[in-house]
Amino acid sequence: MKIRGDLWRTIWRSADGLAVEVIDQTCLPHTFAVRRLQTLADAAYAIKAMQVRGAPLIGAAAAYGMVLGLRERSDDAGLEEAAQALMATRPTAVNLRWAVQRMLQVLQPLPAAARIETAWREAASICDEDVALNQAIGGHGLALLSELYLKTGAPLNVLTHCNAGWLATVDWGTALAPIYRAFDAGIPLHVWVDETRPRNQGASLTAWELGQHGVPHTVIADNAGGHLMQHGEVDMVIVGADRVTAVGDVCNKIGTYLKALAAFDNRVPFYAAVPSPTIDWGIIDGVREIPIEERDANEVAWVQGRMENGDACRVNVLPAGSAAANPAFDVTPARLVTGIITERGIAAPHALRTMFPD
């Protein structure tokens, strides 16, 4: 996608071939910074601290993390160590496990000396495939939005939660791919962007990338969505996912479930845009089986932003002595989900398996 007219991905091999570079998302929207990751520890830190985040990008970063680990130690023990270190960073997005396992499968049979170049190639393939999957999701979502636009003839209002745009993937995004495709096709639309406390991925990242692309959008407080739906101001909700079960339960950023409940009550269609590496075929009951990341309570207490004079600052919004808790994801049961937009098409949650018989 474009930043000030130039094409970017979120992650790439450095020009000197020795490291990986990423857009540091902890600095957005006020500062655009690129970080160089040179070691396994750099990659693990980037994922944990959310310099890179979003399920597909976490997977891509983990794949490159395996390469950086191999540069330090390419024998079997080194591979295992890298896999363990990366798997321990964030527990919910299944793309991380998927990417690490794929790297292990390709690398383990090779002699240690032959591993590094193959690892670079495999990580690059994971990235290229992610772009292709998201482009395909965009195409299927475009058909959905076109159909709705033809029916209503009015500009579409789409609500999204968190950031499932190109910043959350290698390129295009999942939930935002249909929006970019529809906007580029001339369908008039406007996006309601949930701010997404505590880390504000909506306000800081989704609003920023929609703005870069010129897509009309409005940031709303997380609690505003239900009210807007009651008043007919939302035509569709599209979110991303960190893990989807075989029967279509959708785990995504905390607060998604409340949006799905409000959408259900107001007959607003609720879609999750999901590339297949985000589906965990081994899990049926999302609420009980998906591990939910508990992040540092300081993320709830402290908000970061910019002062009027442009200086960065962090402010504490809690009274001294108040405890805070920070579950980072929730699970929307399949019964509240209208459809899942995958690279193969749009499936009702219970029909996901039929769409992926393999």
Using the structure block, give the residue that is written with the tokens 């799905």.
260
In the list 145, 179, 241, 283, the residue contacting ligand MRU (rule: CB under 6 A) is 241
Beta bridge partner(s), residue 6: 3
The one catalytic residue in 194, 222, 242, 280 is 242
Please identify, using beta-carbon distances, which residue of 130 and 235 lies nearer to ligand MRU.
130
Q: Is 342 in the site for ligand MRU (CB under 6 A)?
A: no
Span 151-190, contacts to ligand MRU by CB under 6 A: 162, 164, 168-169, 173-174
Please identify, using beta-carbon distances, which residue of 72 and 294 lies nearer to ligand MRU.
294
CB of 289 to ligand MRU, least distance (A): 18
CB of 145 to ligand MRU, least distance (A): 18
Stretch that binds ligand MRU, among 140-148, 229-237, 239-247, 313-321 (CB under 6 A): 239-247
Spell out the residues 6+ positions from residue 217 whose beta carbon is closer than 8 angstroms to its own. Answer: 190, 191, 192, 193, 206, 207, 210, 211
Strands 329-332 and 339-342, sheet pairing? unpaired
Angle made by CA atoms 280, 281, 283, in degrees to the nearest 5: 75
CB of 164 to ligand MRU, least distance (A): 4
Provide the phi-psi class of 183: left if phi over 0, else alpha when psi is between -120 and 50, else beta: alpha
Using the structure block, give the residue that is written with the tokens 């002062």.
307
In the list 56, 69, 198, 349, the residue contacting ligand MRU (rule: CB under 6 A) is 56
Q: Is 10 in the site for ligand MRU (CB under 6 A)?
A: no
- The span from the CA of 8 to the CA of 70, in Å, is 26
In the list 195, 253, 263, 300, the residue contacting ligand MRU (rule: CB under 6 A) is 253
- The span from the CA of 251 to the CA of 242, in Å, is 6
CB of 201 to ligand MRU, least distance (A): 5
CB of 109 to ligand MRU, least distance (A): 31
42 counts as catalytic: no
Stretch that binds ligand MRU, among 9-17, 234-242, 262-270, 299-307 (CB under 6 A): 234-242
Position with the least CB separation from ligand MRU: 240
Contact 170, 9 (CB under 8 A): yes
In the list 1, 51, 54, 140, the residue contacting ligand MRU (rule: CB under 6 A) is 54
Indicate if the alpha-carbon torsion angle 317, 251, 231, 137 is positive or negative: positive
Which structure tokens are listed for 280? 């965990």
- The span from the CA of 212 to the CA of 207, in Å, is 9
SS3 content of the chain, % helix, strand, coil (to 5): 45, 20, 35
In the list 240, 255, 339, 349, the residue contacting ligand MRU (rule: CB under 6 A) is 240
In order, the DSSP letters of 53-90 are -SHHHHHHHHHHHHHHHHHH--SHHHHHHHHHHHHTT-
Specify the DSSP class assigned to residue 4.
Answer: T
Which structure tokens are listed for 3? 């930043």
x/- contact string, 183-202, with ligand MRU (CB under 6 A)?
------------------x-
Please identify, using beta-carbon distances, which residue of 70 and 283 lies nearer to ligand MRU.
283
x/- contact string, 258-297, with ligand MRU (CB under 6 A)?
----------------------------------------
CB of 54 to ligand MRU, least distance (A): 4
Catalytic residues: 242
Residues that bind ligand MRU (CB under 6 A): 53-56, 93, 162, 164, 168-169, 173-174, 201, 240-242, 252-253, 328
